[in-house]
A and B are shown apart, each in its own frame.
Chain A
């Protein structure tokens, strides 16, 4: 989590310095979701379909800081040779795309393919609350439940889509959208990485046991702007969530100050080394 935080803070800095273009959707504040969920998967066989806010998912999956930063800088040594940038990252079992909702049916198809092949792999689809506006999501949920796809839907509910609060886009309760399809929903606080890990682990076990798709609904908060740009959210509210809902502070309290400091220092050094290698320190 700390590593992800440092990487993304560096990205915002590099962007401000004009060293990269395009969009940079950071998951600052949401790292508990990425690390908790991805730590529970079997990286050798499970598949992740991430979304536009995928740096954290990617780093939790493979820790490839160098490939990620270089990719966002548009360099040929980036993970996708500079072709993809921030939103189109792929490596081994990790996939992304910049189209909201489109990855959800694809993830279901991936899971089904592995089930047909009998590999026991599970697919994960990450989506934000705003993406519940896309019809493809519901088509995919219906098919996943109907055909008992080994898929875990992971919703990162941060209450906003770009500039628009959830209350201006969605009627009803998002956390209950999947239930009528017969997909059990488990709701957890994303800031508690250990709780996220435990729940994800349990749900993956159920899916692997052939019980069909599950949905993990994570309440979380985005601390930084949607991308690198404007943020018109209430200042005081932002300060409050920063104080109260930071997954890293939570973890620090759980693991103790000494351990936290060791991890923090190591992460800082690791990111600095990569930035130096890329000549942007």
Chain B
């Protein structure tokens, strides 16, 4: 049985990618041992691969540009941006260069660039180190956005992404997940993966067996923590919840393939971190309306963080971020 933490899994993926392909380089701030990166994800890697772990100045824009140039010339750079909040400084390179080149140039230029970053709150880092801003990068043509949850195998997915992607990938790791053990089917939650056409599986998690759910909750990344907690708490109430957790977020080209797992016969809730409104959940809800028009038993509900900054104080922070109480309340309301 897998007892890996999310962080260990990611590190295993990075290591595996570096071991199997010499073109993989790790680039980012404070990556060298003994420090091993702000969240220790790269710990040990600079010792094992000293030439291919490059510690950089505090230059997020140039790092992203540099890695784009390296990717164009046949390497497979993996950039670590220390906090997801700092993606604002990479935006120009990502939006106006890295994703544009494969789509506008004469030669079919490949930009196999993976930009990894820890996202989200829960650790009291305050307003500029706790945000979930991946929604700003959804809808950028040519940008794949991935954020595995506790119900996935993030390391294996990351390794494959690094070794196989031909276009830029924004890879979002929720920092609240790092110390947590991956869900492995060893407790009261049942879990299985549905493989899709794009290689990014959907994880299905249930707190019941042998019947249909009462409610379906769709979530990704860090929202898997409050979702699984609420599912566990609802077992004694015999409220049957099916969680659907895609690992890839961008859906812009067509209806997500994993809609095949949805019937519309149960109420649906979309839950996510990040300020509410204009979100991934908005897009999913809109697509659900189009796909299941006339068959939905109830309007799709959306849950997200408050429309506010993420405070540093623990109590204050908890009020702003999506949590299991809100989820339980919404689930109960949706079936009564």
Residue numbers of A with Cβ under 8 A of B are 47, 49, 79-81, 83-84, 88-92, 95, 97, 99, 102-114, 116-117, 123, 135-136, 139-140, 142-143, 146-147
Contact = CB atoms under 8 A, between A and B. Distances in A.
Nearest to B75: A113
B269 interface: no
7 contacts: A84-B104, A105-B65, A106-B97, A113-B73, A117-B75, A139-B62, A140-B66
B107 A106 contact: no
Given A88-B100, A89-B106, A136-B65, 9 more contacts: A105-B62, A105-B66, A105-B68, A106-B93, A109-B69, A112-B66, A139-B59, A140-B66, A142-B62
A84 B105 contact: yes
B65 A109 contact: yes
A91 B106 CA distance: 6
Contacts of A83: 103-104
A143 B55 CA distance: 11
B168 to A, nearest CB: 13
A105 B59 CA distance: 10
A109 B61 CA distance: 12
B140 interface: no
Contact of A108 (B54, B61, B66, B105): B66
Nearest to B59: A139
Interface in B80-133: 92-93, 96-97, 100-101, 103-107, 109
Contact of B70 (A49, A92, A103, A113): A113
Contacts, number: 119
A83 B105 CA distance: 8
- Most A Cβ at <10 Å: residue of B62, B63, B71, B106: B62
B68 A109 contact: yes
Contact of B106 (A90, A123, A140): A90
B75 A116 contact: yes
A79 B104 CA distance: 10
Given A139-B62, A143-B62, A106 B104 contact: no
B188 to A, nearest CB: 49
Nearest to B107: A90
A81 B70 contact: no
Contacts of A109: 65-73, 77
A97 B73 CA distance: 16
A138 to B, nearest CB: 9
A151 B57 CA distance: 19
A91 B104 contact: no
Nearest to B73: A113
Contacts of B69: 49, 105-113, 123
B74 interface: yes
A106 B97 CA distance: 9
B56 interface: yes
Contacts of B64: 105
A88 B104 contact: yes
B70 A139 contact: no
B97 A102 contact: yes
Given A47-B73, A106-B69, A136-B61, A90 B109 contact: yes
A136 B62 CA distance: 6
A142 B65 contact: no
B144 to A, nearest CB: 20
Contacts of A108: 62, 65-66, 69
A266 to B, nearest CB: 27
B68 A135 contact: no
Contacts of A47: 73
Instruction: Kindly list the 10 A-B residue pairs having the minimum CB-CB distance in the complex, ordered from nearest.
Output: A109-B69, A105-B65, A139-B62, A109-B66, A113-B73, A90-B105, A139-B59, A110-B69, A106-B69, A105-B62
B107 A92 contact: yes
Nearest to B72: A110
Nearest to A143: B62
A81 B106 contact: yes
Given A80-B104, A104-B65, A139-B59, A112 B70 contact: yes
Contact of B65 (A90, A91, A92, A140): A140
B72 A106 contact: yes
Contacts of A110: 69-70, 72-73
A204 B313 CA distance: 56
A25 B74 CA distance: 31
Contact of A102 (B57, B92, B105, B107): B92
Nearest to A85: B104
- Most B Cβ at <10 Å: residue of A47, A81, A110: A110
B87 to A, nearest CB: 15
A254 B59 CA distance: 46
B59 A97 contact: no
B65 A106 contact: yes
Contacts of B62: 105, 108, 136, 139-140, 142-143
A244 to B, nearest CB: 38
- Most B Cβ at <10 Å: residue of A92, A102, A103: A102
Contacts of A142: 57, 59, 62
A97 B70 contact: no
Nearest to A78: B106
Nearest to A92: B107
B61 A114 contact: no
Given A113-B75, A136-B62, A140-B65, A102 B93 contact: yes
